[in-house]
Amino acid sequence: MSIEKSVEKSIKNLLSDGIKATPPSFVRGILRAASDPGVISFAGGLPNPVSFPQEELLVSMERVVKTHGSKVFQYSVTAGLPELRQYIADRYDQMFGLHLTAEHVVITTGSQQALDLIGKVLLDRGDGIIVEKPTYLAAIQAFSLYQPVFYPVELTQEGMDPAKLAVALQNPVKFVYAIPDFQNPTGLTYTAENRECIRDILKGRDVVLIEDDPYGDLRFDGERLPYIGAGALPYSIVLGTFSKTVTPGMRIGFVISENTKLLKNISIAKEAGDLHTNIFSQYLIWDYLMNNDLDAHIAKIRALYKKQAQAMMDAIERYFPPAVRYTRPHGGMFLWVTLPEGVSAMELFPKALEKKVAFVLGDPFYAHERAGENAADARCVNTMRLNFTNADCAAVEEGIRRLGEVLSAL
Amino acid sequence: MSIEKSVEKSIKNLLSDGIKATPPSFVRGILRAASDPGVISFAGGLPNPVSFPQEELLVSMERVVKTHGSKVFQYSVTAGLPELRQYIADRYDQMFGLHLTAEHVVITTGSQQALDLIGKVLLDRGDGIIVEKPTYLAAIQAFSLYQPVFYPVELTQEGMDPAKLAVALQNPVKFVYAIPDFQNPTGLTYTAENRECIRDILKGRDVVLIEDDPYGDLRFDGERLPYIGAGALPYSIVLGTFSKTVTPGMRIGFVISENTKLLKNISIAKEAGDLHTNIFSQYLIWDYLMNNDLDAHIAKIRALYKKQAQAMMDAIERYFPPAVRYTRPHGGMFLWVTLPEGVSAMELFPKALEKKVAFVLGDPFYAHERAGENAADARCVNTMRLNFTNADCAAVEEGIRRLGEVLSAL
């Protein structure tokens, strides 16, 4: 055996089963391909950079350094800046009538870290978990590291299918992971009735409900709906973030739970994972929130994304073949396209890229139908996710026009 | 069974074996106890805040926002800012003659995240790992999550005991974790001979060597020594950080490895773990490094810590009973005290706190002798770690004087 082959073999022996089970993110692969500035990309999940309050954040930077001095540069506590945690508790109390204190909030290094911490705290190899079908691919990735068994439950226009959820719960499962508002990847929102139904099904069960809510603030149509579990179920976790409303680059997310035992364990896992989240950025976001009107800022983002979403839907109506179906989101960042049966999104992808337009295939959003597991399945997937937040209306229309051309030529 | 007891029981059923095996950090518990401003604390591992280049960082903040605009607030790539990775590669090339490029560096959310990522990538439950006896308690914590079997190897004045290392390697182990410069908790540094010896022992084995090097820059006596594995062993990882030289609050650490396969897997684990490290802070540190003389800055920190370490050693000579032994570090942040046999550091602790002085017991630094496993052992541990970086010389002397009083009265 050559030296190279022997090193190759031994690296495989050294790697954990967990990392071998973890798929690299498909989207981030595509993002590199789509980073050519000529490409109109509907692939990522990036906020529109015009929404970042740069000037205000710069003012806050100077103020936190001058006001708090070395504290913003020193090591800090694991659960996060108490003032920021209190702000979050108050805001969620106000919006949802939850009776929260700073004790119920842990700051995380983006919401992605929260997913990892939940895996750490709840999952042993082989434990069952319920996810939506389809669901957020980076959640699949984060949980995969802990080698659970995924039980995907069909997502309908109303939310998670209650009958199928009840069936899935006949398996021993640790948690249900759901994105009830403007779901990633579909853009769908669970109805009030569906939420009640799921709450009733979970009531009395020793199963954690994780409601991942990065997009709830970005509603441009209709009224905000109550959470399913928060304030109602004993094992409820809500995930939030400032990534979609202020800035993703600072990686400030948070976990909310009234179950302080659960939260204490999440905190221990965080301590082992990165000690604490960037304390300068926590002071910065907190100072920004104290000195600016977050809701007025969010209202501007909503108006922007509403226009962009509308431009995408109008263009789809105009340029896509009529047999193509798509979701009509009331907020968030994505819509979900279903091509006619037999049309493969994977075959569409390179042809679209030739025309300088990118999207994400539906495939990596299915926990049990990943390319790595069954490439034949992947080729048959006829769905795709389109992001409407990171291109202006003219680019949105032009990109959809090009995609329509490719689709019509298939 | 009452409802509370039933919730209590089910939370235990829900928690993973990994989190149950993970001890909360003893030090961070003590830090809370020692946060009373009247207490002189030798307990933490905090840099002296006078060493933070606050003014320069504030200038850099404004410059990166004005120069790079929305890029510092947007999502970014997992491996880290290419310019910062290149800077690190060049610096280590210059200092150690390693032939590195940006490809060999991954930015992490502090060094602590690197420990977690290594656990993720290399450890399945029951895998063997070799650590120093004693070793960094947060490394014990990070690895414990992945439920390895620890094989601690005695640390001598020269470094890891080679004979005992060879014996430990008869077990199947995934990696050796070492802190060769100004070790935490002991302050000891591996000699050049010891490094060679360990290199020879590991040569030809499929075992990863992790050299955790947060303190190497803080040498105030003697010459910097070469790494054991970097540039010499095929499975070598070096961990570094800007936490001790620029600011810990920004959580910018890094992993260096010439083994790109290993590094690619660390990158996948990072993607699943927090997508990427705070990109604003990466730009900030990079801009600071481009516009300031890091080595001149480090020289000032060295001079400061040399004085504080000397003050501590002088005070120990003056105030501690002669039977007490202690290490004489040539750099770093800590020294290690061994009390006479039969004197318990745990019994000393509350008496010291009454006199308003805090330290960390030796106990949590022993991978196999944690209080949780065997409280009787913990009470017998006659060692303690003293930090000399976060108190000025007068406070250092006064704190040691008080500790000496308690010791003499035992």
User: What's the rounded Cα separation, in Å, for the pair B238 and B232?
Assistant: 12
> So what's the pLDDT on residue B368?
74
Residue ranges of E strands in B221-379? 236-241, 252-256, 325-326, 334-338, 357-358, 360-361
pTM greater than the 0.80 cutoff? yes
Q: For residue B62, which residues of chain A lie inside 8 Å, CB to CB?
A: 58, 61-62
User: What's the rounded Cα separation, in Å, for the pair A326 and A386?
Assistant: 10
- Mutation site for B-interface testing, chosen from A278, A288, A297 by largest number of B Cβ within 10 Å: A278
User: What's the rounded Cα separation, in Å, for the pair A241 and A184?
Assistant: 15
In this complex, the residue of A77, A109, A144 whose CB is nearest that of residue B109 is A109
> So what's the pLDDT on residue A5?
66
Give A328-368 pLDDT, tens digit per residue.
Answer: 999 999 999 999 988 889 889 999 999 999 999 998 899 97
Q: Which residue of A has its CA nearest to B58?
A: A62
> Is the Cβ pair B248, A116 closer than 8 Å?
no
In this complex, the residue of A62, A250, A271 whose CB is nearest that of residue B24 is A271
Amino acid in position A184? N
User: What does residue B40 show for φ and ψ, rounded to 5 degrees?
Assistant: -85, 115
Nearest to A179 by CA among A123, A145, A138: A138
Q: Which two tokens stand for residue A299?
A: 């209202």
As averages over each run of 10 residues, the pLDDT of chain A (410 residues) reads 63 92 75 77 94 98 98 96 98 95 98 98 96 96 96 97 98 97 98 98 97 98 96 96 98 97 97 97 98 98 98 98 96 97 89 94 80 53 95 97 93
> So what's the pLDDT on residue A237?
98
Amino acid in position A59? V
Q: CB–CB of B110/B251 below 8 Å?
A: yes
Residues 6 or more apart whose CB falls under 8 angstroms from that of A275 comprise A75, A78, B110, B112, B138, B251
User: What's the rounded Cα separation, in Å, for the pair B195 and B209?
Assistant: 12
Rounded to the nearest angstrom, the minimum Cα separation between A116 and chain B is 5
**In the Cβ-directed half-sphere of A130, how many Cα atoms lie within 13 Å?**
27
> So what's the pLDDT on residue A36?
78
- The owner of tokens 């602790």 is B349
Long-range contacts (CB closer than 8 Å, 24 or more residues apart) made by A93-101: A95/A224, A96/A226, A96/A227, A96/A230, A96/A231, A97/A231, A98/A227, A98/A230, A98/A231, A98/A256, A98/A258, A99/A231, A99/A258, A100/A256, A100/A258
Q: Which residue of B has its CA nearest to A244?
A: B74
Q: To which H or E segment does residue B110 belong? A: helix B110-122
Three-state DSSP at A385 gives strand
ipTM of the prediction greater than 0.85, yes or no: yes
CA–CA distances in Å: residue B175 to residues A292, B95, B143, B151, B202? 50, 25, 11, 10, 10
User: What's the rounded Cα separation, in Å, for the pair A74 and B49?
Assistant: 7
Q: Give per-residue burial for B373-391: e unless 16+ CB within 10 Å, then b.
A: eeeeebeebbbbbbbbbbb
- How high does pLDDT run on average in chain A? 93
Residues 6 or more apart whose CB falls under 8 angstroms from that of B175 comprise B118, B122, B129, B130, B207, B208, B209, B210, B235
Rounded to the nearest angstrom, the minimum Cα separation between A67 and chain B is 12
Give A183-192 pLDDT, tens digit per residue.
Answer: 999 999 999 9
How open is the CA angle B392-B398-B401, to the nearest 5 degrees?
Answer: 140
- Mutation site for A-interface testing, chosen from B274, B277, B283, B387 by largest number of A Cβ within 10 Å: B274
Question: How many residues does the structure list for chain A?
Answer: 410
Three-state DSSP at B180 gives coil
In this complex, the residue of B16, B138, B272 whose CB is nearest that of residue A116 is B272
> So what's the pLDDT on residue B250?
98
Q: CB–CB of A310/A168 below 8 Å?
A: no
Q: CB–CB of A185/A365 below 8 Å?
A: yes
Q: DSSP assignment, residue B61?
A: H
SS (H, E, C) A347-366: HHHHHHHHCCEECEECHHHC
Q: Which two tokens stand for residue B188?
A: 């000891």
> Is the Cβ pair B69, A54 closer than 8 Å?
yes
Q: Give per-residue burial for B254-272: e unless 16+ CB within 10 Å, then b.
A: bbbbbbeebbbbbbbbbbb
CA–CA distances in Å: residue A153 to residues A156, A281, B26? 10, 37, 42
Rounded to the nearest angstrom, the minimum Cα separation between B390 and chain A is 11
Q: What is the DSSP string of A132-184?
A: EES--HHHHHHHHTT-PEEEEEEEETTEE-HHHHHHHTTS-EEEEEE--SS-T
Strand A173-178 and strand A128-133: pairing?
A: parallel
Q: Which residue of A has its CA nearest to B10?
A: A206
> Is the Cβ pair B73, A62 closer than 8 Å?
no
In this complex, the residue of B44, B54, B271 whose CB is nearest that of residue A65 is B54
User: What's the rounded Cα separation, in Å, for the pair A334 and A388?
Assistant: 6
> So what's the pLDDT on residue B25?
74
Rounded to the nearest angstrom, the minimum Cα separation between B362 and chain A is 19
Q: What is the pLDDT along chain B (410 residues), one digit of tens a residue?
A: 455 666 667 888 999 999 999 988 766 666 666 667 889 999 989 999 999 999 999 999 999 999 999 999 999 999 999 999 999 999 999 999 999 999 999 999 999 999 999 999 999 999 999 999 999 999 999 999 999 999 999 999 999 999 999 999 999 999 999 999 999 999 999 999 999 999 999 999 999 999 999 999 999 999 999 999 999 999 999 999 999 999 999 999 999 999 999 999 999 999 999 999 999 999 999 999 999 999 999 999 999 999 999 999 999 999 999 999 999 999 999 999 999 988 889 889 999 999 999 999 998 899 974 434 444 456 678 999 999 999 999 999 999 999 999 999 88
In this complex, the residue of B208, B249, B279 whose CB is nearest that of residue A74 is B249
Residues 6 or more apart whose CB falls under 8 angstroms from that of B279 comprise A249, B71, B72, B73, B74, B75, B76, B81
> So what's the pLDDT on residue A371?
39
In this complex, the residue of B13, B248, B281 whose CB is nearest that of residue A74 is B248
- Mutation site for B-interface testing, chosen from A280, A285, A288, A389 by largest number of B Cβ within 10 Å: A280
User: What's the rounded Cα separation, in Å, for the pair B334 and B388?
Assistant: 6
> So what's the pLDDT on residue A372?
43
> So what's the pLDDT on residue B369?
45
Give the rounded percent of residues in chain A with a pLDDT score beyond 90: 86
